[in-house]
A and B are shown apart, each in its own frame.
Chain A
Amino acid sequence: MRLHTDAKLGLALLAFCGLMLWGTYQIEPRPYISLSAAVFPRVVLTLLIPLCLALFIKGLRESTGLDPRGGITLANIRGTIFKYRTVIGSFVLFFLLVVAMPVLGFLISGALYVAAMLWLLGPRSPRQIPFILMVSIGFAGGIYVVFRFLLFVFVPEGIFF
């Protein structure tokens, strides 16, 4: 039987709640405090777990009659990746930005990031390159100057600057 999305979400949330509940039992107990550090998260989990269960049950009810061909198959996975390709690509680029920032610094990594995003999301033609360079260098450079020299706010620094 193919599961409705809500049922899958309910299961995933229940697993997460289980992990967090286990985590509350790893909290170091301390004497002489009014409220143990584990109490509040456990109270929250006590309320959250039934709601996640309700979502799972709701999803199970809606699972009856679903077309089995819509389940997890290679073709469907490829289709989903293709449908969300710009979002996935954007998140991957942001991930690379965060990894590169402490190494290359904000200025270089930021300019590269903006350029890569504009190339990924915008019209990809050689005529766009000057525009991409102008925006990426101009914007990253502008933020760097404003934050660093006008506002005296630190930005991530790398091995160069």
Chain B
Amino acid sequence: MLFHNIAVAFETVFALQNLLLMTAGVLAGIVAAAIPGITITLAIILTLPFTFGMTPIQGISTMIGVYVGGLSGGLLAGILIGIPGTPASVATTFDGFPMARQGRPGLALGIGVWASFFGGLISAVTLMVFAPVLGRLGLEFGPWDFFALIFFALTIIASLSGESMLKGGIAGLMGLLLACVGEEPVNGIARLNFGMDALRQGFDFLPVLVGLFAFSQLMSDIEDPASAKEALIETHARAVKIQHRQAIREIMQRPLALLRASAIGIFIGLLPAAGESISNILSYDQAKKASKHPEKFGTGIPEGIIASEASNNATAGGALTMMMALGIPGDLVTAIMLGALLIHNLAPSPTFITEQPVLSYGIFVSFFLAHFIMIAVQSLGLRFFLRLSRVPKYVLAAVIFLFCAVGVFALNNIMFDVWTLFFFGVLGYQMRVFGFPLAPMVLGVILGPIAEVNLSRAMAISWDPVLFLVRPWSLFFLTLAVLSLIFPYWQRAVRTPGAYWLWRYYLPVSFMLMGIPLLRMPGYLRPALAVGLIAFGLWRLVREWRDAAMA
């Protein structure tokens, strides 16, 4: 029955009209995401009115095309200009831009495009088979668990700071504080606006992101009057094309990195209201921590690009599953898609897949197909975008600043957002000059309201703080948070000759601690995994103790 439904879905999706609509969607998504100031969300919102006259599968297929194209389009600007086109490609710039600056833009683009492709395919195939099971997993989360997850995400802020953990911590906490300006998210109480009505609405995330990243990067490029008159990329654009074969080879040599990033992306996508803006940074951080050479991250290595791009495309698959399986949007984009389905009198719910099998699998097939279309469009459209990179920096800076202003204005149609863009542009540049990392502040602004809402919900149910330790998922994430805070010190200690002997037990104890909350989870798989983790940790502990005794 499963294969019959997939076959019918293929036939529907591969109709000529549907293919053309998807191609147009992918192209629009790539172009929109490639330009900082226009986001995937805006592109999806603008696509929605066009879908009213289409069939449900056509409408959703077109929006999926925009979604997939947008997730991949952000890497173009991120790699070639150093400005992430979308929040989903923030981490791509960390290694993609340095690789391009080293004279390997074609390879960087190829790795990004193909990592997106493979990440998306992995999530599409996995979720087609495991969608019902994965949907049930996300349902187990309560507000304590969400708060603990966000606390864990915030603890990795410091590890993204590289050499300056102090300044990274300050930037992250400043982001949390700035997110508090405006109306409190649960009860709407005005705070930290100092009596100014304009500040009552707070700072929208998009102008903050564009201001911090786009302005600071462009200002750094034009800081020197002489270099401002040069092109963005030294390499001749005509000689640059996506190095498909080499990119695929680089990715295939790192299967673990690809699988880990895809797994993280799928998991984050399953979490309601989370999204690819979190997964790409989380995946990058995990790849850095798992690497034998974490100091190379940020210098232009393939692992950094794979981690970011595979995870952001995989997140889309997870978000779509949540939307279809439970009727809960996995992120803002899927919330808009949910609206599109409601317009066609279709209400996603736990029985959606069984009641609408052709449409459900049509959505999965569209998601699968969109990645192939994305590869083709990226390859053909690259020359156009490379022509943009041959333009002198000062010309691009002038037009991009203006585009950012109007793009930010288009979000809410208020000038306050443009003023926010200006303020955070100044702040972002100052942060670059004084050595403060930008990503932690962005994370703080994104995650702060989510953390506060969930904390408030948890407190509304019960003031008992022990619940944060009693609930298995909450305990799991808090354990990870503590371990994550200690991990950089452990990394430093193991490289220091004569380091304190207790550090050698950090890893085994970590495995055992992670297993304890899993042991308390329902079902058989997770307790079995917990037993495995604890047993492995014990074995390593005994081995380390024996090695220490013999030394």
Contact = CB atoms under 8 A, between A and B. Distances in A.
A72 interface: no
A71 interface: no
B398 A118 contact: yes
Contacts of B250: none
Contact of A123 (B180, B224, B229, B403): B229
B170 A35 contact: no
B398 A155 contact: no
A59 B451 CA distance: 32
A28 interface: yes
**Size category of the binding interface on chain B:** 35 or more
Given A40-B452, A87-B219, A94-B401, A55 B166 contact: yes
A30 B191 contact: no
Nearest to A28: B189
A118 B395 contact: yes
A9 interface: yes
Interface string B400-412: 0111011001100
A140 B190 contact: no
Nearest to A122: B394
B110 interface: no
**Size category of the binding interface on chain A:** 35 or more
A154 B194 contact: no
Interface string B137-177: 00000000000000000000000000000110110011011
A101 B194 contact: no
Contacts of A51: 166, 169-170, 173
B194 A26 contact: yes
A141 to B, nearest CB: 12
A55 B186 CA distance: 34
Given A114-B398, A154-B413, A121 B228 contact: yes
A156 B419 CA distance: 13
Interface string B369-405: 0000000000000000000000010110111011101
Interface string B209-231: 00000000001001111001100
A161 interface: no
A1 interface: no
A9 B192 contact: no
B422 A95 contact: yes
B410 A91 contact: no
B415 A102 contact: yes
Contacts of B189: 27-28, 30, 37
Contacts of A101: 405, 415, 418
A24 interface: yes
A30 B191 CA distance: 12
Interface string A23-47: 1101110100111011011001101
A121 B392 CA distance: 10
Nearest to A131: B395
Contacts, number: 159
A79 to B, nearest CB: 15
A153 B189 CA distance: 31
The B contact surface, by secondary structure, is helix
Contact of B410 (A94, A117, A153): A153
A122 B177 contact: no
A140 B399 CA distance: 8
A75 interface: no
B509 interface: no
Interface stretch (B233-241, B324-332, B454-462): B454-462
A117 B166 contact: no
Contacts of A28: 189-190
Nearest to A55: B166
B7 interface: no
A84 B46 contact: no
B187 A37 contact: yes
A76 interface: no
A58 interface: yes
A86 B228 contact: yes
Nearest to B460: A34
Contacts of A114: 398-399, 402
Contact of B192 (A20, A48, A85, A87): A20
B426 A35 contact: no
B361 interface: no
A41 B410 contact: no
Contact of B186 (A35, A90, A91, A140): A35
A52 B452 CA distance: 23
A24 B191 contact: yes
B395 A41 contact: no
B204 interface: no
A98 interface: yes
A133 interface: no
A151 B28 CA distance: 12
B82 interface: no
Contacts of B229: 121-123
Return the 7 tightest CB-CB contacts between A and B, nearest first: A121-B394, A117-B398, A34-B460, A37-B184, A48-B173, A34-B459, A35-B456
16 contacts: A23-B192, A34-B459, A35-B186, A37-B184, A44-B176, A86-B222, A86-B223, A86-B224, A98-B415, A98-B419, A98-B422, A117-B394, A135-B395, A140-B402, A151-B46, A156-B415
Given A5-B434, A13-B174, A154-B413, 13 more contacts: A40-B180, A40-B452, A41-B180, A44-B176, A47-B173, A48-B174, A55-B166, A84-B223, A98-B415, A106-B406, A106-B409, A121-B229, A155-B409
Interface of B: 46, 166-167, 169-170, 173-174, 176-177, 180, 184, 186-187, 189-192, 194, 219, 222-225, 228-229, 392, 394-395, 397-399, 401-403, 405-406, 409-410, 413, 415, 418-419, 422, 425-426, 429, 434, 448, 451-452, 455-457, 459-460, 463
